[in-house]
Chains A and B, each alone.
Chain A
Amino acid sequence: MTLRKKAFKNLSGIEIHGAYAPAAISDFDYARDLGESGEFPFTRGVYPTMYRGRLWTMRQFAGFASARETNRRYRYLLSHGNTGLSVAFDMPTLMGYDSDHPRSKGEVGRCGVAIDSVSDMEILFRDIPLDQVSVSMTINGPAIVLFAMYLIVAERQGVDFKRLRGTLQNDILKEYLAQKEWICPPAPSLKIINDTIRFCVESVPLYHPISISGYHIREAGSTAVQELAFTLYDGLTYVQSALESGLTVDDFAPRLSFFFNAHNDFFEEIAKYRAARRLWAQEMRRRFRPAHPGSLALRFHAQTAGCSLTAQQPYNNVVRVSLQALAAVLGGAQSLHTNSLDETLALPTEEAVKIALRTQQIIAHESGVADAIDPVGGSYYIEWLTNRLEAEAKSYFDKLDEMGGMVRAIELGFPQGEIHRAALAYQKEIESGERIIVGVNAFTEPKEPPFKMLKIKHAVERSQIRELRARKKQRATRRVRSALQRLERIAVENGNLMPPVLDAVRAEATVGEICDVLRKVYGVYREAASL
């Protein structure tokens, strides 16, 4: 019989056979491989009732222009049923520069919201009670600074730190691997992360101090297997580093969170999430022997794949996002961002983001998929694929262990090279027509109709700089200077940076000023340009 293709391969290059039968999972053991939801190894989900108890958090990532404009967008999202917030910062903030730094020219407020000082942060959350809405912040190099700003806003709102819920991305390892927005080299960066984890353990107990992210690894071109392997291995690296700093595993491991991509290959993605939970539980138990079962449970946020969206025939993106979001839900995500159809062209308009949010609501309330727990569990194909992804991820673990850990592997360029090669192979498959992308290399249309996009005005940068300078004039200069000097002294003495950063933020020190101290004490990470 002739088949449609010579070989059927998924996005990780795993060959897919026709019908899967019991022989594909001949040594399957329900209790060992799946277990009940909420129980080791958590393959079926981290909570006993999953979405029957509570739906996932619908958390749309948003940020553009000034804090004022982004605040309006947050309130728009919340009024349409968004159940959590997620802050997108602009490039200067991600790199720890103020809006008036020469390197910030042209970039202020373009890819996210511009935040220079705690006053901006206060405007960002105006009329949003931080004890009622959980907030996730995508910030890494300067994470400690933006976290401190968030805490001071809570303080000014009269909200007890003990009631704050949310997530700080704070994952520097995947920056070196993939997203490449960093400040300091790995060793001091890991030290600063430990400071934030310790502070949360002691003072912000409901908050997730880190979100170990595969999303960006995948966006940089990795396969699903690489995303799974490098992310979990990054996670193990953070656990090891926190233990070395004197923390106890059960104090912080239940507060670790993860962030995965939801890409095109529907079943591979579902299998990836299931494999992630099982592998994390097993590796945590094997390597660190925690007593608290929560230390073994992998909770995750998912975002549909930005890199899968096409500029051509952009309305098709709504369909792509629906399928990807469905995979994340069938895979048991705790929170989800659905991309807007225009996000490959610009930051989304209100109309576009509303469709994205409605997509989640339709999956949650109309499709019925949230009513049963792990509804695909037990499928021969899904269980086979889950085993396969787990096995391939483990072989990456062995390689990384042999290399002497993730930091060493990064120095050797190993994960970066693996990701680059996968990205290149994917692009070649598209160019050769071997992999079809609708509207790109098949079913193309010659003339696309014009498309309405969100525009960020140049005036945003000018007014942000004006406000920054005005605020600098109003603050007590001596107080700022002494707070920054104290931060520097504590950094040099290797103390916990959280208290002095909080004090500097209270004194209205800016992101750039605080990060300049970090740059001065710890140095700046540089990547050798290589192909």
Chain B
Amino acid sequence: MAKGETSRARVLIAKVGLDGHDRGVKIVARALRDAGIEVVYLGIHNTAEEIVSSALQEDVDAIGLSIHSAAHLTLFKEIAKRLKQNKASDIVVFGGGIVPDEDLPILKRLGVKKIFTPGASLEEIVRFVKSIPRRLERGAIVRSSGKFHEL
């Protein structure tokens, strides 16, 4: 690994809800992995609860969710709520899919850092994920999985 890349974030990528259209999410997950980012790919048909518990277990710094089923407001709200309950709101949440412009400020208020909509390039997504710092560096001391990570 090149110098300066040692603290790169680990990211969970998944589809949330009942929508199985995984063409986009798989392409994004592959592109992130090809760019040297550690990706935990959770696949399709995950509930908010399953995603948050995997995020904690897998000790990720960010959660990226794909959604095309127009259920984004409900499902991102569930994710935010469960992260808060687990004192893990510092995990960066971002998403991609079909989200109307008018819903973007609502998602932002829920704590969603970024939504990539149609036309976003893989390069843009990779750049965004690379800019996410590791959780510990931002002072999140409690690792729910109980694992210690060397700094």
Contact = CB atoms under 8 A, between A and B. Distances in A.
B104 interface: no
Interface string A423-440: 110010001000000001
Interface in A214-261: 219-221
Interface in B96-113: 98, 100-101
A344 B98 contact: yes
Given A103-B47, A344-B98, A179 B70 contact: no
> What 3 pairs across the A-B complex have the smallest Cβ distances?
A106-B74, A529-B43, A180-B20
Contact of A531 (B19, B30, B73, B119): B30
Contacts of B41: 529-531
Contacts of A175: 20
B17 A424 contact: no
A453 B100 contact: yes
A311 B116 CA distance: 13
A424 B30 contact: yes
Interface of A is mostly: loop
A104 interface: yes
Classify chain A's interface size.
35 or more
Contacts of B117: 311
A180 B122 contact: no
18 contacts: A91-B17, A91-B71, A92-B18, A105-B74, A107-B17, A107-B69, A107-B74, A110-B71, A180-B45, A181-B20, A182-B20, A221-B23, A345-B98, A423-B27, A450-B101, A527-B44, A528-B43, A531-B41
Interface string B1-32: 00000000000001001111111001101100
B43 A527 contact: yes
Interface of B: 14, 17-23, 26-27, 29-30, 33, 39, 41-45, 47, 69-71, 73-75, 78, 98, 100-101, 117-119, 121-123
B76 to A, nearest CB: 9
Contacts of A456: 70
Nearest to B122: A431
Contacts of B69: 91, 107, 110-111
B50 to A, nearest CB: 10
A110 B98 CA distance: 12
B19 to A, nearest CB: 6
Interface in A30-71: none
B70 A311 contact: no
Contact of A181 (B18, B42, B123): B18
B119 A311 contact: yes
Contacts of A464: none
A529 B58 CA distance: 15
B121 A431 contact: yes
B18 A107 contact: yes
A424 B117 CA distance: 18
A271 interface: no
A79 B74 CA distance: 36
Contacts of A530: 41, 43
Given A105-B74, A311-B119, A431-B121, A180 B26 contact: no
A519 B91 CA distance: 35
Contacts of B73: 106
Interface in A447-497: 450, 453, 456
Please indicate which of the listed interface residues B18, B23, B43, B100 has the most CB atoms of chain A within 10 Å of its own CB: B18
Contacts of A529: 14, 41-44
User: Which interface residue of A94, A310, A529 has the most chain B CB atoms within 10 A?
Assistant: A529
B101 to A, nearest CB: 8
A220 to B, nearest CB: 5
A95 interface: yes
B71 A180 contact: no
Given A107-B69, A111-B69, A431-B121, A94 B18 contact: yes
B100 A346 contact: yes
Contacts of A388: none
A10 interface: no
Given A92-B18, A529-B43, A423 B71 contact: no
B23 A344 contact: no
B17 A106 contact: yes
Given A529-B41, A529-B42, A91 B19 contact: yes
A423 B26 contact: yes
A180 B119 CA distance: 24
Given A106-B71, A181-B18, A529-B42, A312 B27 contact: no
A180 B78 CA distance: 23
